[in-house]
Structure 1
């Protein structure tokens, strides 16, 4: 991001997609506003854009009107695209054209929440590392193999600035402000927003886990993390136990105590949830999903999926298509 000059506030553009995440957008823009307020200087200015110059609705139903026409996007020093739960249907050819135009102008590009999908779909993330909300991680990795998606809260890779959802945009923007205007300003913004700790690049998203504590819980967390990282080629339970330096019997006791299930069943459910994410959030063929989730045959996958969700994978895909 270009260093702000006293007489030239950095101009930040926000391309809002239909059903975008309001919390992600607000966390980003409020950091820039607070930077101006605390410094008593116009360090930043911002504009809202849409790909069709029309008012768009956030996922909470609030309407956002553009403040800058799309043909003037070149005036922005950096452009963030903000997505939400319906990012796939919201990313149409007009969105892709706008993002490619920004890339052709050599504008730094960023993404909030699921906005990374729009950047990847436009082909402007190939060869980059980037972040996206954990719920979309599995599906998007399969769909865009030229992009390196990671579980980090936010990632800055050259001229691409991406983050996951929720409050992660706050961490990303604080990082940018610190780099441009120093740690003191970033710290004062955090104090105003009652943020106890600024997460750094490299901090990982917290994947959903039961909120329980007790002896051995750290071993359980490590086991689940290993399972999550080995979906396509599932490990034997003994290998997992060896990796965290406990016995297989101890591993089984931990899963029973904290999760009331067997580790093998938890691992299977994890793979099936990953398969469901791929079915719902991507257009990856079912056979490819079968392989990506560690099933050796389509019949085994269909049987396991039906047992978990009450219908086969093909019915899941049809349901999504009919609802679109």
Structure 2
């Protein structure tokens, strides 16, 4: 991407706001652009907000953002940035998808923040292009878009397309854009002005493993959790897991009771059901497809285990997934 406008004014970023867009992703990207202008001491960048219909869009925090322009007001040289949010399909209407395809055909740089990789992939723009997305949505994305190579990076910037993993990773993306187009000094200045420490250089990955989510450090338990996570579609028995990590089944039972407070079987059922819960909320896969993806041999067995943990059936959750409580669950990752 190049930001030399040849005297035609600032390079403009146009942010296409989807319904309930990520407030954090938008504001951090905008602040990075503002700080770049401050570091450069002239207006290298400008920005505008657009969206489908109406005069404003509501953010994930409930604030309304006034739209500056309509969808068709983009001009040559603009960079189009789709800002997704909690509900990955919210705002991904046929009109928006067709619009994205038209802008891509015009040769405009197109990208997405937070969960917008889902919208870009749905528009057919990410086939055989690497993408990243917020870790809470990575499982559902991989199930739906199997032709899109999903990676664990904080951002992907390739071939005029870019995606981010949500949260503050919009800053990382903007710093990368500044470095490529304007040099490292500008990016360093922006990061300094924002008091931004790149914790991602330490963490390296956004996708937390089961062991990381459970804050478990015992090496054998970590190995067992990794086996469970890796083999979720064809789940091994506790004895098979114990054999793979080099201990007896009884030892595995004791370790899980001590470190996780429940048996390996109970933990694995909860782990698989939690993945299913996210897929029900985030995808339109059928219940049987979700059951198979989570290692259940039949819909009836899946429904039985699901009800034991959530006190409702997968079908009832699917019917209610638009309710406020389930949106909150999707945001936090916790059961309601």
Name the TM-score class by shorter chain.
0.7 to 0.9
- Is residue 37 from structure 1 mapped to residue 38 from structure 2 by the alignment? yes
Q: Provide structure 1 residue ranges, at least 5 long, that are not aligned to the other structure.
A: none
| Partner residue, 2:115 | 114
Tell me if the contact between 1:16 and 1:48 (Cα under 8 Å) persists in the aligned partners.
Answer: yes
Q: Alignment RMSD, CA only? A: 2.8
The worse-fitting range, judged by mean Cα deviation, of 88-97 and 190-199 is 190-199
CA distance in 2, matches of 1:166, 1:307: 33
CA distance in 1, matches of 2:36, 2:29: 11
SS in structure 2 at match of 1:301 = helix
1:50-107 superposed Cα distances (whole Å, 9 cap, x missing partner) = 1225211112121111223321223453211001112313221222122112111122
| Partner residue, 1:283 | 284
| Partner residue, 1:274 | 275
| Partner residue, 2:150 | 149
- For 1:41-190, list aligned pairs within 5 A: 41-52=42-53, 54-190=55-191
Distance 1:203 1:85, change over 3 A: same
Give the deviation of 1:35 after TM superposition.
1.1
CA distance in 1, matches of 2:227, 2:117: 25
Give the deviation of 1:206 after TM superposition.
4.4
CA distance in 2, matches of 1:67, 1:50: 9
CA distance in 1, matches of 2:163, 2:80: 11
Distance 1:241 1:164, change over 3 A: farther
TM-score scaled to structure 2, two decimals?
0.84
Tell me if the contact between 1:11 and 1:75 (Cα under 8 Å) persists in the aligned partners.
Answer: no
Tell me if the contact between 1:2 and 1:77 (Cα under 8 Å) persists in the aligned partners.
Answer: no
Tell me if the contact between 1:6 and 1:43 (Cα under 8 Å) persists in the aligned partners.
Answer: no
Distance 1:210 1:118, change over 3 A: closer
CA distance in 1, matches of 2:195, 2:180: 21
Distance 1:34 1:225, change over 3 A: farther
- Is residue 22 from structure 1 mapped to residue 23 from structure 2 by the alignment? yes
CA distance in 1, matches of 2:97, 2:83: 13
TM-score scaled to structure 1, two decimals?
0.87
| Partner residue, 1:10 | 11
SS in structure 2 at match of 1:60 = coil
Tell me if the contact between 1:74 and 1:102 (Cα under 8 Å) persists in the aligned partners.
Answer: no
1:91-143 superposed Cα distances (whole Å, 9 cap, x missing partner) = 21222122112111122211111111211222222222211111111122222
| Partner residue, 2:296 | 295
SS in structure 2 at match of 1:87 = coil
| Partner residue, 1:224 | 225
SS in structure 1 at match of 2:307 = helix
SS in structure 2 at match of 1:89 = coil
Tell me if the contact between 2:131 and 2:162 (Cα under 8 Å) persists in the aligned partners.
Answer: yes
Tell me if the contact between 2:233 and 2:292 (Cα under 8 Å) persists in the aligned partners.
Answer: yes
User: How many residues get paired?
Assistant: 320
CA distance in 1, matches of 2:255, 2:185: 44
1:179-206 superposed Cα distances (whole Å, 9 cap, x missing partner) = 2222222222222222222636x93214
